[in-house]
Structure 1
Amino acid sequence: MTAPANPAPATPASFDPASATIVIVTFNRSGLLTRALTSIGTMDPKPGRVVVIDNASVDDTTEVVESLREQLGTELVYRRLETNTGGAGGFSAGMETAYELGSEWIWLMDDDVEVLPDGLARMGAWTPRFRHIQGRRYDYDGSEFYWQYRVSTSLGIPIPFAPAGFDESGYREMNSGCFEGMFIHRSLVQKLGLPDPRFFIYWDDTIYGYLASRHEPCVIVDEFVLQRTREIKQWDMGTRHLNASSDTYRYYIMRNRGIMAHYYRAHGDYRPFAFAVGTAATFAKELIRLGFVERKVTKTGWNNLWRGMRDAWRLSRDKNFEIMAPLAQ
């Protein structure tokens, strides 16, 4: 289904589209990557640069990138990693690459989205006010996707009843982040450092957004700028959805709670009892996901949850663990 069109905004003179870099992380999905890059080729205005981080794909990703280089209409930087570092490692490498190239604005996204033609103009319209901006996304079927933009810091979990609507301001403050559409200024990246690649997958963007919100207001804006191009099995609960997952995700959802604890502790926000309640709620949510979305509760799925929780406990007690440091000026 085609997403409804938005009336085009005026891009403020203070925002230079050429100062922005789109970072796409991909892994063995050259077909989806083709659609993502093709959509960038139709953007007006276009970003000054596109960075593709290839997580050691074994399909024809390299050939696809080279075949689209000329028609993209902007500079394309392709970086193939030696091993699959997961989404966390890919976005960390992408942020690092864009930052070292001198990008003022960095727009992160996965390979399973298309950028709407006026997407950059819509994000740029908010840059005079904010330095960490999240746009909205249409789901695969053209419906409006709801992202849980508020997190309970004490529990360490998203707040599912955070309002979905927007008032006349056109934005809501958030204390989380989502690497599928995060639009962030280099000055804030310098303060935060790079995303932590040790997460591999899950909670990495949540923590990065939490860190950003400690420095200044961060917002999700009522601007549709992306559309998902991959259908995902989900449980429709009205405004909110619960997507299908995998055993690998289930392990890291639990295991990475141990890394989260270190970040909260380092900033004085770690509440052991409340965080344990949040961990139990996360475990229960994954059981619900297994039963109601995937309609199966397998031994493998159950074991990955328990194994992840065991490793999280060990990680949280690792006295040698250090959080990511700010970037050198």
Structure 2
Amino acid sequence: MSLGRREQFFVVITTFNRADYLADLLDSIAALSPAPDGVIVVNNASTDNTVSVIESATERFAALATPIPVIAHQLAENSGGAGGFSAGVERALAEGAQWMWLMDDDVTCVPGAIGAFGPWMDKYDAIVGRRYDAEGGPFFWQNNFNTFLGFPLPVHGDVFATSNEFATNVGCFEGMLLHTDATRSVGLPDPRFFLNWDDTIYGWQVSLQRPVMYVNEFVLHKARSQRSIDLGIRHLNDSSDLSRFYVMRNRGLVGQYLRVHGRFNRVGFALGTALTAAKELFRLVGVEKTLRGSGRLLAGWRESRAILAATDFEPMPPLEGKN
């Protein structure tokens, strides 16, 4: 990488029991040109052959014409995507990263992605690139977080019709690129989310201080096929009982963060929670053709109420001044 604003570019991956997908992702990282300055793989206590995949990649990356350090960060227990990214960002900062490209294990990188990011890295501290879906078409992602509802709303139309950049106010840890300045000012991703809403709220907090830019550069391929339904303004993919529980449970954390920033409206937030439940029920019926799993939505909602009622909530602290 060149010096200045573009140096010390690290890829940060969170993985759990998807060794085959992880192997494909690491293969795609080895093919990146220009190459990253380091790769951090947070292993969320996987029980498959993830460790051997990381060890093999470490040896292979060390033998490249331009060696790339691979740092395996092993967690003692599964802390979810939120905990994994929190640990990964913390480790990247400790390793001297200036840029952190965050991604799940079930994507692959477009070979020229880092170069495509380059011009935007000179202008912004928080960038989200575009993704191809598993079939090779553009994956729909264009949202803005509505603070009255505490809910991300899809943006209609082609946001790149007149410009190659679109200012959003949410994050997506499936490909979000963060400069250390943005991360230190907001703090680490909050591991209490475990799964769901963590990147939305993280991006929103960043957007309160500096631009979060969605750019017209395809940088990732989604590798895992999912059942989905096209609603025109967005796609709904299939989900899991674990995800259903946390999408409702974490409404409590979303509400607490809105309170911290003086944006919490009780009536609007209740409506946003109802919209969240309705979306998940529609996902169950429309995509998964069942109502099994609705009980996990109810269980998550009940837990969210206890979180929202807590009077001792503290957000993740900023890291300014910390090395």
Normalised TM-score (structure 1): 0.93
Aligned residue for 1:126, secondary structure, equals helix
Aligned partner (choices 296, 316, 319) of residue 324 of structure 1:
316
The alpha-carbon deviation at position 321 of structure 1 amounts to 1.7
Match among 121, 130, 134 for residue 127 of structure 1: 121
What are the equivalent positions in structure 2 for 1:75-154 lying under 5 Å apart?
A: 75-154=69-148
CA contact (8 A) 1:50 1:75 kept: yes
The amino acid of 1:51's aligned partner reads: I
Q: State the alpha-carbon separation in 2 of the partners of residues 13 and 106 from structure 1.
A: 16
Residue 273 in 1 paired to residue 286 in 2?
A: no
Contact residue 137 and residue 225 of structure 1 kept, 8 A: yes
Matched to 2:93, the amino acid is Y
Could you tell me how far apart the structure 2 residues matched to 1:240 and 1:168 are?
20
Letter paired with 1:319: T
Q: Give the one of 216, 222, 229 matched to 2:223.
A: 229
Residue 305 (structure 2) aligned to one of 308, 313, 318: 313
- TM-superposed CA distance for 1:169, in Å, is 2.9
User: 8 Å contact 1:195–1:204 — kept in the other structure?
Assistant: yes
The match for 1:71 is: 60
Kept in 2: contact 1:195–1:324 (CA 8 A): yes
Query: In the alignment, is the contact (CA less than 8 A) between 1:88 and 1:195 conserved in 2?
Result: yes
Query: C-alpha distance in 2, partners of 1:318/1:74?
Result: 45
Aligned AA for 2:15? T
1:46 is matched with 35
Once the two structures are superposed, residues 39-61 of structure 1 have per-residue CA deviations (whole angstroms, 9 ceiling, x without a partner) of 00001001100000000001111
Contact residue 12 and residue 125 of structure 1 kept, 8 A? no
RMSD: 1.4
* SS of residue paired to 1:308: helix
Q: Which amino acid aligns with 1:194?
A: L
Aligned residue number for residue 295 of structure 2: 303
Q: Which residue number corresponds to residue 196 of structure 1?
A: 190
Work out whether 1:165 is the aligned partner of 2:159: yes
- 1:253-292 to 2 correspondence within 5 Å? 253-292=247-286
Q: CA deviation at 1:302?
A: 1.7
The amino acid across from 1:113 in the alignment is V
Report deviation, 1:160. Answer: 2.1
Contact 1:15 1:124 in 2 (8 A): no
Could you give the per-residue CA deviations for residues 45-92 of structure 1, whole angstroms, max 9, x where no partner exists?
011000000000011111111112132241110011000000000010
| SS state at 1:125 partner | helix
How far apart, in 2, do the equivalents of 1:91 and 1:220 lie? 20
Q: Hey, what does 2:64 align to over in structure 1?
A: none
- Of 302-311 and 37-46, more deviation after overlay is shown by 302-311
* Pair 1:31 & 2:20 matched: yes
How far off its partner does 1:239 sit?
Answer: 5.7
Secondary structure of residue in 2 paired with 1:77: strand
Residue of structure 2 in register with 1:8 after alignment:
none
Structure 1 residue identity aligned to 2:315: I
Task: Give the distance between the partners of 1:177 and 1:272, measured in 2 at CA.
Answer: 24
Rounded to whole Å, the distance in 2 between the matches of 1:257 and 1:283 is: 10
Count of paired positions? 316
Work out the CA distance in 1 between the residues paired with 2:179 and 2:3: 17
Tell me the SS of whatever aligns to 2:154. coil
| Percent identity between the two aligned chains | 44
Counterpart residue type for residue 148 of structure 2: S
The answer to whether the 8 Å contact 1:149/1:162 transfers is no
TM-score normalized with structure 2 length: 0.95
Q: Unaligned stretches of 5+ in structure 2?
A: 62-66
Contact 1:148 1:158 in 2 (8 A): no
Classify 1:277/1:250 alpha carbon distance in 2 versus 1 (closer, same or farther; 3 Å): same
